[in-house]
């Protein structure tokens, strides 16, 4: 990802867009963006990029995918939110070992397939 950020930053900077904002909703993207910025500064030292993560900047210190905070943000920006599909789960194993919500909610239809 850092090479993609590098390429995008350099191309926009060469077109005159020296101040750039990279908006993300995933905390792990910060390091990749910053690495891309450092690489871009080698050829475009006048670049002024910034990485902004909407949930940490909004004051959320603990946020998880599809939790109350993230749902509130989605609703505030008019994203489609399916509250009728909301379910609470208690996982018997660590969350990072969960492969799919469908294994915990078998009554729902199968997940969409890529064509």
Quick one: average pLDDT of 25-44?
A: 90
Decide if pLDDT at 113 tops 90: no
Decide if pLDDT at 55 tops 50: yes
Element holding 4 (H helix, E strand): helix 2-14
Quick one: average pLDDT of 9-36?
A: 91
Which pLDDT value is given to residue 115?
Answer: 46
Taking the domains of the chain in order of start, what are their residue ranges? 2-103
Quick one: average pLDDT of 68-97?
A: 74
In sequence order, the 6+-apart residues with CB closer than 8 A to the CB of 59 are none
């Amino acid at each position: 990802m850092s090479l993609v950020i590098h390429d995008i930053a350099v191309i926009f900077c060469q077109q005159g867009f020296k101040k750039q904002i990279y908006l993300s909703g995933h905390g792990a993207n910060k390091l990749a963006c910053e690495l891309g910025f450092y690489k871009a500064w080698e050829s475009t030292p006048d670049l002024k990029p910034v990485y902004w993560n909407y949930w940490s900047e909004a004051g959320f210190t603990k946020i998880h995918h599809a939790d109350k905070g993230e749902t509130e943000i989605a609703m505030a920006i008019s994203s489609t939110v399916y509250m009728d599909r909301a379910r609470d789960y208690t996982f018997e194993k660590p969350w990072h070992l969960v492969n799919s919500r469908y294994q915990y909610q078998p009554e729902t239809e199968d997940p969409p397939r890529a064509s």
